[in-house]
């Protein structure tokens, strides 16, 4: 009997246009296992979005990619969402088996412990909360909306909920920079940031968008060539970078993110910024330095409501 991987490979062989397009949807930080599962989720559910055309940007593609990331974050990271979203991704993910996916089990004291599921448990507990490293939600060039739990932005409690993690990350970055000889232009800023985040059991989010697609760029950034990279962790904005290609943009965004850690502390706050031409409330990681200029426009927004779906219902 053919395995799921064989079935997917056979399907892609029969659809060469998909075989060329689908790999472009893989995120930078996804492991082979995570990508294989999310790829299958995307392929299985494409028919549910009849207006979707491979390689063509559309709200249908954005929604499918968003749901695929939400599903992957739930399966691999243990993230949870509003019940309606959980029901939706469970239905869309039916039949997809992820072998040896990490799980969290809640004890009577409310403490979460990690374990692995067997093949039998996989079949019996498709909707169980699973855990790996949280944050593999980079959409590889597509700033897709996130079906989040808040319709108007992060909850008032969100900064306090995220602050303990970023306090730990601040210490990890401080030690890493000391061992590297201090903050400087010759460092691999992304590698330092990535390793520190992963040492705290989380994963970075990197979203890339062509410069020509961004409105409200700072002065001097009006050229049409190049890319913008936005870096987040746990849905908290950390930095934006501009470059001739995605690699250069990511390096600059990482450098900007690390600058925030040069002060005595970092703080998670809710701030107003522009997203798709409108003001939104966003979670941001800030230092103690006063700012004379506004924040760069957001190119991703984890708290965006599914307004199109609600408007059509």
Say what the pLDDT of residue 312 is.
Answer: 41
Residue where a domain terminates, one of 82, 104, 124 = 124
Banded model confidence at residue 5, pLDDT cuts 50, 70, 90 = low
Minimum mean pLDDT range among 27-31, 35-39, 246-250, 265-269 = 27-31
Are 214 and 79 part of one and the same domain? no
Residue 115 or residue 198, greater confidence: 198
- Quick check: 301 and 281 in contact, CB under 8 A? no
Residue 141 is predicted with a pLDDT of 33
In a domain, residue 305? The reply is: yes
Question: Total domain count for the chain?
Answer: 2
109 band by pLDDT with thresholds 50, 70 and 90 = very low
Say how far apart CA 140 and CA 53 lie, in whole Å.
Answer: 17
Determine the structural domain holding residue 201 and report its residue range: 158-312
- 193: domain CATH number is 3.30.160.20
Residue 24 domain-assigned (yes or no)? yes
Hey, which of 174-188, 253-267, 297-311 has the most confident mean pLDDT?
Answer: 253-267
Confidence of residue 216 (pLDDT cuts 50, 70, 90): low
**Per-residue confidence (pLDDT) for residue 139, from 0 to 100:** 32
What is the pLDDT averaged over residues 202-221?
Answer: 76
Is pLDDT of 284 > 80? yes
Confidence of residue 220 (pLDDT cuts 50, 70, 90): low
Quick one: 295 and 229 in the same domain?
yes
Asked which of 124, 149, 176 is the last residue of a domain, the reply is: 124
pLDDT cut 90: percent of the chain above it: 23
| pLDDT range class, residue 302, cuts 50, 70, 90 | confident
Instruction: For residue 87, tell me if it sits in a domain.
Output: yes
Residues 114 and 171 grouped into a single domain:
no
Specify the pTM. Answer: 0.51
Same domain for 103 and 197: no
Residue 238 belongs to some domain of the structure: yes
Token pair for 43: 């392929």
Shared domain for 79 and 165, answered yes or no, is: no
Residue 151 within a domain: no
Is residue 153 domain-resident? no
The last residue of one of the domains, among 124, 147, 179, is: 124
For residue 103, name the pLDDT band (cuts at 50, 70, 90).
low
Q: Does 313 or 124 have the greater pLDDT score? A: 313
Q: What does pLDDT average to over the chain?
A: 75
Task: Report how far residue 88's alpha carbon sits from residue 4's, in angstroms, rounded to the nearest whole number.
Answer: 22
Check pLDDT > 50 for residue 118: no
pLDDT attached to residue 237: 96
Is residue 267 located within the same domain as residue 222? yes
199 by Cβ neighbours in 10 Å (0-12 / 13-18 / 19+) ranks as: middle
């Amino acid at each position: 009997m053919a395995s799921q991987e064989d079935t997917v490979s056979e399907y892609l062989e029969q659809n060469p246009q998909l075989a060329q397009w689908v790999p472009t949807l893989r995120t930078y930080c996804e492991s082979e296992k995570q990508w294989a599962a999310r790829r299958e989720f995307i392929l299985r559910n494409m028919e549910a979005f009849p207006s979707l055309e491979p390689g063509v940007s559309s709200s249908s593609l954005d929604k499918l990619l968003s749901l695929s990331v939400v599903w992957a974050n739930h399966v691999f990271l243990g993230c949870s969402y509003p019940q309606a979203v959980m029901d939706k991704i469970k239905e869309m993910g039916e039949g997809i088996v992820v072998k040896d996916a990490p799980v969290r089990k809640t004890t009577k004291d409310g403490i979460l412990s990690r374990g692995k599921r067997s093949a039998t448990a996989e079949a019996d507990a498709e909707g169980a909360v699973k855990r790996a490293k949280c944050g593999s939600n980079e959409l590889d060039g597509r700033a897709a909306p996130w079906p989040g739990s808040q319709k108007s932005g992060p909850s008032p409690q969100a900064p306090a909920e995220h602050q303990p993690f970023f306090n730990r990350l601040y210490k990890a970055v401080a030690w890493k920079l000391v061992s590297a000889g201090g903050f400087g232009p010759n460092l691999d800023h992304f590698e330092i940031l990535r390793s520190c985040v992963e040492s705290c059991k989380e994963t970075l989010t990197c979203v890339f968008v062509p410069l020509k697609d961004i409105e409200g760029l700072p002065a001097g950034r009006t050229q049409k060539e190049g890319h913008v990279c936005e870096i987040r962790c746990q849905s908290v904005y950390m930095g934006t970078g501009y470059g001739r290609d995605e690699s250069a943009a990511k390096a600059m965004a990482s450098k900007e993110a690390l600058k925030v850690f040069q002060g005595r502390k970092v703080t998670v706050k809710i701030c107003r910024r522009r997203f798709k031409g409108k003001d939104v409330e966003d979670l941001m990681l800030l230092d103690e330095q006063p700012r004379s200029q506004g924040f760069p426009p957001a190119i991703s927004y984890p708290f965006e409501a599914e307004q199109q779906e609600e408007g059509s219902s």
